[in-house]
Amino acid sequence: MKATNVTWHHGELAPDARERLLGHRPACLWLTGLSGSGKSTLARRIERKLVERSVNAYVLDGDNVRHGLNGDLGFSPEERVENVRRVGEVARLFVDAGTLVLAAFISPYAADRARVRALFEPDTFVEVHLSTPIEACEARDPKGLYQRARAGEIPSFTGISAPYEAPKSPEIRVDTSAAALDECAEEVIAWLVEHKVIPAPQ
Amino acid sequence: MKATNVTWHHGELAPDARERLLGHRPACLWLTGLSGSGKSTLARRIERKLVERSVNAYVLDGDNVRHGLNGDLGFSPEERVENVRRVGEVARLFVDAGTLVLAAFISPYAADRARVRALFEPDTFVEVHLSTPIEACEARDPKGLYQRARAGEIPSFTGISAPYEAPKSPEIRVDTSAAALDECAEEVIAWLVEHKVIPAPQ
């Protein structure tokens, strides 16, 4: 797949200027999984741990994107596609700016995720599949969405009345119902150290 | 004006965690002006000088936005509005991430710029008006656009066949035809130091 961002104008900066400034490589961690699987919670925990380690990490999720940039989009199949497309493009801008960006979106369609992956250099895109079983997600149901979906009040609810196409070979797979949140976060961080995205702790 | 971003979820981070990590306050510098007025060139020069001073600066301009995030938008009045709206929302995300973001877009309509300003806390939005006279912009004409606009080949060209509503009270006003590029960049940087957005040089 072609990484189209290599043709971008990088202004007057040396290619490694940002990496030297920030002390780590940029990357996009794309967290995909069912509603209630723990995407945003895990992303926020990883973000805190990374910022504490002086890594410039930042979470994009429904909270800061759905109400702003994508406030004009609903939940139809076409709007879900556009939602994921825009988030992918914004994540690419953050990576261009040197950030370790964590994008936490259901992103149920494999084709949409593949299009996002194609925006990045191979070693800057990390797909994290939240494989928490639907039974666990539904038992949590923090926003009462599964209950409403079962009652037929939410059309096209992922996992109930709309498909979730699980990633076949994500870089990382995490089940937040099988391990504590901190353990899950440390697992992802260990992967980033192992793959030399961020430095090992001093 | 209400800064709507104060209601955002900031995850598990202390409010000043990013500022401590990065060593400066976040801000959005919004560069507005005619085609050829020097917006992108000035933004890239400021970006380089700031990164050299260890400030995490990043430029959003037509180059990295029009071909990606806003690749679905043309130049009709409605699409220009949506272009500026999305850039404003992305700039807000960058400010939320602690970045000193420089947005360089013609953004000809005062109402659109006011909507963008309203997304930010008052002390994080800095409007920079590139007041380079149209004669100087047209004499430069780096992309041959004025020539084509005069020939009637580009409908609604800002300054020729579409309005440019100059800011009445921008925080900074710069004419890149009246001073050298470095001087213009230093003027903006001096403003940032004076207003305690970034630290004075050591």
CA distances from B45 to B23, B59, B64, B69 (A): 20, 10, 16, 24
Cα–Cα distance between A61 and A27 in angstroms, integer? 16
Query: Which residue in the set A11, A45, A97 is minimally distant from B99, CB to CB?
Result: A97
CB contacts of A19 in chain B (<8 Å) are none
User: Which pLDDT score, from 0 to 100, does residue B76 have?
Assistant: 83
Mean pLDDT of A170-180: 98
How does the average pLDDT of chain A come out, rounded? 92
Which residue of A12, A20, A102, A143 is the best one to mutate when testing the B interface, meaning the one whose CB has the most B CBs within 10 A?
A12
User: Which pLDDT score, from 0 to 100, does residue A63 have?
Assistant: 86
- The structure tokens 């961002």 sit at A5
Q: Which of A15-24, A33-42, B23-32, B124-133 comes out lowest in average pLDDT?
A: A15-24
pLDDT in tens, chain B (202 residues): 334 434 456 678 988 899 999 999 999 999 999 999 999 999 999 999 999 999 999 999 988 998 899 999 988 889 989 999 999 999 999 999 999 999 999 999 999 999 999 999 999 999 999 999 999 999 999 899 999 999 999 988 999 999 999 999 999 999 999 999 999 999 999 999 999 999 998 7
User: Which pLDDT score, from 0 to 100, does residue B3 have?
Assistant: 41
Residue of A nearest to B40 (CA): A11
Residue of B nearest to A86 (CA): B69
CA distances from A101 to A61, B80, B124, B191 (A): 10, 28, 22, 30
ipTM for the whole predicted complex goes beyond 0.90: yes
Is B90 within 8 Å of A93 when comparing Cβ atoms?
yes
User: Which pLDDT score, from 0 to 100, does residue B201 have?
Assistant: 83
Cα–Cα distance between A103 and A83 in angstroms, integer? 12
pLDDT at A3 over 60: no
Cα–Cα distance between A202 and A122 in angstroms, integer? 27
Q: What is the CA radius of gyration of chain A?
A: 17
pLDDT at A67 over 90: no
Cα–Cα distance between B141 and A144 in angstroms, integer? 57
Query: Which residue in the set A54, A86, A94 is minimally distant from B21, CB to CB?
Result: A54
